Chain A
Amino acid sequence: MPKKVVSGNYAAAYAVKHARVEVVAAYPITPQTSIIEKIAEFIANGEVENLQYVPVESEHSAMAACIGASATGARTFTATSAQGLALMHEMLHWAAGARLPIVMVDVNRAMAPPWSVWDDQTDSLSQRDTGWLQFYAENNQEVYDGVLMAFKIAEHEKVNLPVMIVESAFILSHTYDVVDMPEQEEIDEFLPPRKPLYTLTDFENPFSVGALGTPADYYEFRYKIAKAMEEAKKVIKEVGKEYGERFGRDYSQMIELYRTDDAEIVFMGMGSLMGTVKEAVDILRSEGYKVGAAKVRWFRPFPREELYELAKNVEGIAVLDRNFSFGQEGILFNEAKGVLYNTDARPIMKNYIVGLGGRDLTVNDVKAIAKNMKEIIEKGKLDREIEWYHLKR
């Protein structure tokens, strides 16, 4: 298998090339820009055929262009970050509502002000309710694999919903790493051309997209999206398993469990910070701590069932949120705690707000969090539910 040393953004661009994407809407925003630059380079060098590159004047237009292109049946891609993603918000609802399997990479970046270009998950998590599936990549390999799988999942006849692949600003987007890329023929076998649910270029049977949904009809279409999200769980597992069988990296689990079999304390989180956490788990294990990591790969659809299973055998879950919902708590914490409320297994859960706006989470931080969790479990009582871990005091 060919290996390349690439940044997270280039990994995404290569996956777009290998997926034989037909339309890319391009608007630059830091730190996403090098994705669309690399795609432009592929076109300039004649390395891709049949790819329409649409430069647009804003992110709102980028998503509008994707919606139009996808409605004609084309395999469609774009990428964005932070304020750009926020500007797309209205169109994100539109893409999911019209059941268009657009794939987008969001490079997680903190929302301004204060102006920031560094990592933070609040931008993508703010789009939680738009009907997009969300996958959080831990490393460059997962960015590449995630984009390839995303097209297959999004375009599956039972799904037909857009997918967001999320990677962290600079930590992945601009950092180089070895990425394994299958041969083009193998990818073509895994990912055949798209079979659209409908296409605007069907001139024999004209129809309207975005028709008026009166109170007599709107409700049923919302239910259909809800059902497709549930179906997507099965499709994600199937596609993840197939990907493993073909290319050796298995993604059949929506939550990746790391050394959790006999773990008392589990660190739960999403994205690149989980690489650090896994390393800390190894060190803590060698020091006698029974700890493990649960990396939530898919945030939408939310892996309820996997979480039920995990919670059965652990005493405490430390949820590490690189995001915050003002007036409430970390968003992953909020969701995970909500899922477990009606189950018998209710481990002690504590929310650690970490790494906002690109602040580092180090192995030593994770070790300190483990010690804090151990004390809490011994006392059987939380010191506080939400801790702003890095706060200068």
Chain B
Amino acid sequence: MNTLFGEKKAKAEKLVFKSVDEYPEAPITLGTTLLNFTGDWRTFMPVVDESKCIRCYICWKFCPEPAIYIKEDGHVAIDYDYCKGCGICANECPTKAITMVREEK
């Protein structure tokens, strides 16, 4: 869908520490949120209606996971590997451009 998604996963791949000496001294910036695919927690999935989106990026700021992207055309896209389906984005969107839809598995 978007090249940004692939980049993030490639970055996550690089963050795997292979020996104890490779780890930083303190547990800061582990990149574990990239490696932890929270997408499979989801029951409801956010769906963006681009015709209603005013590109305010409130959803992007509020999303607690690394799940929302700003595409080249300025619209937002959701990386479902990381979206845990919390619904914050849909709740915060001022134009109701995001709806939460029950996901068929």
A, B from the same assembly: yes
Q: Is A389 an interface residue (CB 8 A)?
A: no
Judging by beta carbons under 8 Å apart, are A221 and B28 in contact? no
Q: Is B56 an interface residue (CB 8 A)?
A: no
Q: Which residue of A lies closest to B29 (CB)?
A: A207
Chain B 35-61 per-residue mask, 1 if CB under 8 angstroms from chain A, else 0: 110000000000000000000000000
Judging by beta carbons under 8 Å apart, are B23 and A211 in contact? no
Judging by beta carbons under 8 Å apart, are A209 and B23 in contact? no
Chain A 241-284 per-residue mask, 1 if CB under 8 angstroms from chain B, else 0: 00000000000000000000000000000000000000000000
Number of residue pairs spanning A and B whose beta carbons lie under 8 angstroms apart: 55
What residues of chain A lie closer than 8 Å to B36, measured between beta carbons?
212, 214
Judging by beta carbons under 8 Å apart, are A197 and B20 in contact? no
Chain A 213-230 per-residue mask, 1 if CB under 8 angstroms from chain B, else 0: 110110011011000000
Chain B 1-21 per-residue mask, 1 if CB under 8 angstroms from chain A, else 0: 000000000000000110010
With A and B bound together, what is the CA distance between A207 and B27 in angstroms?
10
With A and B bound together, what is the CA distance between A210 and B30 in angstroms?
9
Judging by beta carbons under 8 Å apart, are A224 and B25 in contact? yes
Judging by beta carbons under 8 Å apart, are B29 and A211 in contact? yes
Judging by beta carbons under 8 Å apart, are A211 and B27 in contact? yes
Judging by beta carbons under 8 Å apart, are B23 and A221 in contact? yes
Which of these, A209, A214, A223, contacts B28 with CB under 8 Å? Answer: A209
Judging by beta carbons under 8 Å apart, are B30 and A220 in contact? no
Which of these, A99, A214, A217, contacts B26 with CB under 8 Å? Answer: A99
Q: Is A98 an interface residue (CB 8 A)?
A: yes
Chain B contact residue count (CB 8 A cutoff): 15
What residues of chain A lie closer than 8 Å to B30, measured between beta carbons?
211-213, 217
Chain A 196-216 per-residue mask, 1 if CB under 8 angstroms from chain B, else 0: 011000000001111111101
A66 to chain B, nearest CB (A): 16
Judging by beta carbons under 8 Å apart, are B28 and A208 in contact? yes
Q: Which residue of A lies closest to B20 (CB)?
A: A220
What residues of chain B lie closer than 8 Å to A217, measured between beta carbons?
17, 23, 27, 30, 32
Which of these, B16, B20, B25, B27, contacts A213 with CB under 8 Å? Answer: B27
Judging by beta carbons under 8 Å apart, are B32 and A224 in contact? no
Q: State whether A211 and B20 are in contact (beta carbons under 8 Å apart), knowing that A99-B25, A99-B26 are contacts in the complex.
A: no
Judging by beta carbons under 8 Å apart, are A212 and B32 in contact? yes
With A and B bound together, what is the CA distance between A101 and B28 in angstroms?
16
Chain A 150-185 per-residue mask, 1 if CB under 8 angstroms from chain B, else 0: 000000000010000000000000000000000000
Most buried by A among B17, B27, B29: B27
What residues of chain A lie closer than 8 Å to B26, measured between beta carbons?
98-99, 160, 197-198, 209
Q: Which residue of A lies closest to B31 (CB)?
A: A211
Q: Is B33 an interface residue (CB 8 A)?
A: yes
B19 to chain A, nearest CB (A): 9
B27 to chain A, nearest CB (A): 5
Judging by beta carbons under 8 Å apart, are A211 and B28 in contact? yes
With A and B bound together, what is the CA distance between A99 and B33 in angstroms?
21
Most buried by B among A208, A213, A223: A208
Judging by beta carbons under 8 Å apart, are A198 and B17 in contact? no
With A and B bound together, what is the CA distance between A160 and B36 in angstroms?
28
Interface residues of B in 62-104 (CB under 8 A from A): none
What residues of chain B lie closer than 8 Å to A198, measured between beta carbons?
26, 28
Which of these, B25, B29, B35, contacts A214 with CB under 8 Å? Answer: B35
Q: State whether A211 and B25 are in contact (beta carbons under 8 Å apart), knowing that A220-B17, A220-B20 are contacts in the complex.
A: no
Judging by beta carbons under 8 Å apart, are A224 and B23 in contact? yes
Judging by beta carbons under 8 Å apart, are A210 and B27 in contact? yes
Q: Is A97 an interface residue (CB 8 A)?
A: yes
What residues of chain B lie closer than 8 Å to A216, measured between beta carbons?
16, 32, 35
With A and B bound together, what is the CA distance between A213 and B28 in angstroms?
10
Judging by beta carbons under 8 Å apart, are B23 and A214 in contact? no
With A and B bound together, what is the CA distance between A112 and B27 in angstroms?
36
Which of these, A97, A98, A209, A223, contacts B20 with CB under 8 Å? Answer: A223
In the assembled complex, 6 residue pairs joining A and B whose CB atoms fall closer than 8 Å, in A order, are A98-B28, A198-B28, A207-B29, A211-B32, A216-B32, A224-B20
Q: Which 10 A-B pairs have the closest CB atoms?
A: A207-B29, A99-B26, A211-B30, A212-B32, A220-B20, A207-B28, A220-B23, A221-B27, A209-B28, A214-B32
Query: Chain A interface (Cβ within 8 Å of chain B)?
Result: 97-99, 160, 197-198, 207-214, 216-217, 220-221, 223-224
- Additional 14 contacts, C-beta under 8 A, given A99-B26, A209-B27, A216-B32: A98-B27, A160-B25, A198-B26, A209-B26, A209-B28, A210-B27, A211-B31, A212-B36, A216-B35, A217-B17, A217-B30, A217-B32, A221-B23, A223-B20
